[in-house]
Structure 1
Amino acid sequence: MPNRAPNRAPNRAPNKARSGGPAIPLARWADRQLKTLAAETASPRIAALDGATLMGERGSNGVYTINGPVSAGLGGSRLMPTRDGGWFALTLIRAEDRQLLPALFGDETIAIADNAAIAAAVLARDCADLVTRGRDLGLPVASAHETPASPPVEIMTRGPPRDRPRGHRPLVIDLSAIWAGPLAGHLLWLAGADVVKVESLTRPDLIRRDDPATFDLINQGKASILVDFADAAQKAELVGLIRRADVVIESSRPRALRHLGIDADALVRAVPGLVWLTVTGHGARGEAANWTGIGNDCGVAAGLSRALAEASGTMGYVGDAIADPLTGIVAAREGWRALQDGGARRIGFAMSAIAARALAEERAHDAAALTRELRAWAAAVGQRFPTVARRPLWGEVRPLGADTPRYLPGLAACRSTAC
């Protein structure tokens, strides 16, 4: 893959103005969090950002449409009524998820590629039962009427402190994928960190291929390393790199993290000052830690679709995978604060709960403005997603695995000798 070169006009700040479309609800909340982050990091590049841009650039890049009860873009998530009067959100963006639909509905004859047949099956069942069964199966599901099961931000483990010299450049290891975690890494890079993106040999970040415009924006400037997680020596080499890091970002469920050979809590307790950011759909502890969550269905679980219906009388999705950018901003802020404090800690982030907190705080801040925005969003079904000016690339987008020898020299030496 060729390098994608950075924009060569580093003094040109991105245009904050939208060129069309309704305001994205909660963009003003995101804007306030960015202003706080900019002040705390003293980063002029973060100060140049705004909430509408970070929440709208993926939909703008993809020329998405506002689709009401179908998510923006390719429509991978759908809100469907149930027989008990509820609304059930089901996200199907992976082929293997559709293979689980017969188990979800208890019907081996269901046409798994037929969205109308799926909607009919949902309408014949109760919402809570579908959510419970879907989460047991590992499907990204939600109810428009639920309450998040976990706190938005939670300190899970603490470890010894580390004194960092003045001017120290933090090393961030980004094991996450898609949007929320990589956005947090991107914001830390804008604040001056050295960020290393780690991808699996067998499962690279999907948006590198499927959404390169967004991938470039939130992964620019990051080094790229490639690891075969089926190889014990390569996993050990990665753990060695993590032990030298200041921050780790990951978005794996507990079983997946164990499969990677990584014990996050043990590392936080052992490595002075290590800040570990765990991004989850619904929580990092207990039963909720095993629930799959993606930005659109997490927004539904947060109550955003219910708020839309209360304001407009119409049920639908709000924004584009709205819980992702909200969580990325919060995770970057909390990670930066932990770095300044110096103590090692593992911090869990629940996307559904962060979106719920944003909704509650925005209502308290300006309920009338939020209601107007929700009504305008409902009225915009069928219109193009809000468009924003594309941000410049300040840094190079590295080819997949280009920096493995630099950050994992033992692995590179082993490969050269075929050991």
Structure 2
Amino acid sequence: MAFQPNEKTNVIAYANTLLAGLNLSPLSDVPFIETHPAINNARSGVQGHAHPSSNNKIIPTALADYADGALLALKSVAQDNPLKTNLPEYGAHLLGERMALFNTHPREQVSAGGSCHFFEARNGYLAINLARDEDFDLLPALTDAQIPITTDKQILENAFKKFSIQDLIPLGRDLGLAISAVALPDYDSFDNWVSMSPSATSQYPSPKVSPLVVDLSSLWAGPLTGSLLAMLGAEVIKVESSKRLDGARRDKSDDQGEKEFYDLMNGGKKSFTCDFTTQEGREQLLQLIECADIVIEASRPRALRQLGIHAETLLAKKPGKVWLSITAYGHGPATENIIGFGDDIGVAAGLSSLMDIIHGRPLFVGDAITDPLGGLHGALATWACWMNGGGMIDLSLYQVLGFALSQDPLIRAFNKNNLIRRTSEWTKILNMSDENMYPVRKASKPAPPPGYHNEEILRKLDALQKS
């Protein structure tokens, strides 16, 4: 289901498309003031944090409108919740806030976060996200040992020119690299944005009951979902391994922006830590998950199974329970173990190829763009599932962005000339704009230190065990 190419109705039409995918009624009369998608993109900061009329490279599709539409749909689903006014005013505000706080922007060959890089292969370009130290150790195996283990960008720049994309992508993914080709996917294949399996033993919540959410996720997409649920009144417990805390937690960093961003994602949550490597820690983790009304996780399924956590079994034990599983490319034997991060998934969904078509070279779009979009869509799916009796949610970040892009009629029925014409028109509109960037949100409260609420939560678990 694709909205019509009326650039003044993107947000409401996209919100209704998302609601239709959840089998929910469309929006009624909505007092939503729409802005032009080019201005909305620029003001959101997804094109970089300069004035909207600056010479940043135009993104030729309505990304900020898709973010606004997802948040508008969430507000519709939560319309009977008196706390819905705690949600951000616009979803677009969330797209560029990390770049604003970190004072970063995408560069020619490197993502805003600094870890994802474009490399030229024999027959095209690919993106590799070298986010972890061990990723560099895998590069020799990717190139038949033709390059050493190195972080030297000049050596890496020419390392892949002898190899084809068709060989590099599957091998890289088998090795555990976050790797994707700069190419346009088949947008006709994105028939929905989420896969949801209703609970066989549905139990609808009392309107007076706020769900208990256990957030096992880290970094951005999952924590954003949890923070939006907290704004709706849920009690959210952020759970971390005491041996490996959330990588976004930078308590020893002098960068105030990093702390402010972590507080935005986790400031309204309680903190619980346990040692996943011990029997006691795994028992505490399992007991906490059993008590939860909603579970948010962004792990590969085999990682959870190794901890003795089986989503289907736990869903069956508690009617009405919701399990949100966020992955790079979705569940299923062919996809569930593929590594992916926000930037390289954005490349896989075609954004950098669109920029190549319009601007003459592949470019990164925004900052880990599928994370804020995934978090917004994840909150919508989760709250809708909670209100409708529970179940399993398979949310693929690739599917979310691919579906959003497929709603653009100039992309779905690909027409290069029309896209170039649109970019020219949007550039003229921006050059006439005198609007400022959207303000960066402020966290409602600081995120608690690791394990700050352990005693309180363990007492509750002990009481539940005895009852």
One fold, TM greater than 0.5?
A: yes
Query: CA distance change for structure 1 residues 207 and 234 in 2, over 3 Å: closer, same or farther?
Result: same
Gaps of 5+ in 2: 1-39, 53-57, 413-417, 431-435
Tell me the CA shift for residue 141 of structure 1. Answer: 0.6
What secondary structure sits across from 2:391 in the alignment?
A: strand
Gaps of 5+ in 1: 1-15, 380-385, 414-419
| C-alpha contact (below 8 Å) 2:130/2:136 kept by paired residues | yes
CA distance in structure 1 between the aligned counterparts of 2:450 and 2:168, rounded to whole angstroms:
39
CA distance in structure 2 between the aligned counterparts of 1:111 and 1:341, rounded to whole angstroms:
51
Aligned residue runs from structure 1 range 85-234, under 5 A: 86-107=124-145, 109-145=147-183, 147=185, 152-155=193-196, 158-209=199-250, 211-234=258-281
| C-alpha contact (below 8 Å) 1:159/1:271 kept by paired residues | no
Residue in structure 2 matched with residue 70 of structure 1 by the alignment? 110
Residue in structure 1 matched with residue 459 of structure 2 by the alignment? 409
Aligned residue runs from structure 1 range 216-295, under 5 A: 216-295=263-342
Match of 1:83 among 106, 118, 122: 122
Deviation digits for residues 297-339 of structure 1 (CA, Å, limit 9, x no counterpart): 0000101111112222221111110011111111100000001
Tell me the CA shift for residue 201 of structure 1. Answer: 0.8
Would you say 1:20 and 2:50 are equivalent positions? Answer: yes
CA distance in structure 2 between the aligned counterparts of 1:193 and 1:402, rounded to whole angstroms:
18
Residue in structure 1 matched with residue 397 of structure 2 by the alignment? 351
Residue in structure 1 matched with residue 77 of structure 2 by the alignment? 40
Tell me the CA shift for residue 370 of structure 1. Answer: 10
- Matched residue type, 1:144: V
| C-alpha contact (below 8 Å) 1:140/1:291 kept by paired residues | yes
What secondary structure sits across from 2:265 in the alignment?
A: helix
Tell me the CA shift for residue 259 of structure 1. Answer: 2.4
CA distance in structure 1 between the aligned counterparts of 2:421 and 2:67, rounded to whole angstroms:
13
Query: CA distance change for structure 1 residues 167 and 316 in 2, over 3 Å: closer, same or farther?
Result: same
Higher deviation after alignment, 203-212 or 279-288: 203-212
Residue in structure 2 matched with residue 31 of structure 1 by the alignment? 68
RMSD: 2.8
Would you say 1:337 and 2:381 are equivalent positions? Answer: no
- Matched residue type, 1:197: K
| C-alpha contact (below 8 Å) 1:59/1:320 kept by paired residues | yes
- Matched residue type, 2:142: L
Tell me the CA shift for residue 369 of structure 1. Answer: 10
Query: CA distance change for structure 1 residues 285 and 156 in 2, over 3 Å: closer, same or farther?
Result: farther
Tell me the CA shift for residue 32 of structure 1. Answer: 1.4
Query: CA distance change for structure 1 residues 106 and 187 in 2, over 3 Å: closer, same or farther?
Result: same
- Matched residue type, 1:207: A
CA distance in structure 2 between the aligned counterparts of 1:174 and 1:404, rounded to whole angstroms:
15
What secondary structure sits across from 1:287 in the alignment?
A: coil
- Matched residue type, 2:116: S
Match of 2:423 among 354, 363, 372: 372
- Matched residue type, 1:77: C
Deviation digits for residues 189-244 of structure 1 (CA, Å, limit 9, x no counterpart): 11111111001111100111163221110111100000100112221122112122
What secondary structure sits across from 2:158 in the alignment?
A: helix
CA distance in structure 2 between the aligned counterparts of 1:320 and 1:373, rounded to whole angstroms:
24
Match of 2:450 among 366, 387, 400: 400
Would you say 1:360 and 2:381 are equivalent positions? Answer: no
| C-alpha contact (below 8 Å) 2:324/2:393 kept by paired residues | yes
CA distance in structure 1 between the aligned counterparts of 2:172 and 2:268, rounded to whole angstroms:
38
CA distance in structure 2 between the aligned counterparts of 1:277 and 1:373, rounded to whole angstroms:
40
Higher deviation after alignment, 186-195 or 107-116: 107-116
Tell me the CA shift for residue 371 of structure 1. Answer: 4.5
The structure whose RCO (Cα within 8 Å, separation 6+) is larger is 1
- Give aligned-pair identity as a percent: 35
What secondary structure sits across from 2:299 in the alignment?
A: coil
What secondary structure sits across from 2:399 in the alignment?
A: helix
What secondary structure sits across from 2:271 in the alignment?
A: strand
Deviation digits for residues 85-143 of structure 1 (CA, Å, limit 9, x no counterpart): x2111000110111111111111642521122222111121012111011001111111
Tell me the CA shift for residue 354 of structure 1. Answer: 0.9
CA distance in structure 1 between the aligned counterparts of 2:324 and 2:95, rounded to whole angstroms:
21
| C-alpha contact (below 8 Å) 2:374/2:397 kept by paired residues | yes
| C-alpha contact (below 8 Å) 1:29/1:362 kept by paired residues | no
Would you say 1:50 and 2:90 are equivalent positions? Answer: yes
Query: CA distance change for structure 1 residues 171 and 59 in 2, over 3 Å: closer, same or farther?
Result: same
| C-alpha contact (below 8 Å) 1:160/1:269 kept by paired residues | yes
CA distance in structure 1 between the aligned counterparts of 2:228 and 2:424, rounded to whole angstroms:
27
Tell me the CA shift for residue 176 of structure 1. Answer: 0.2
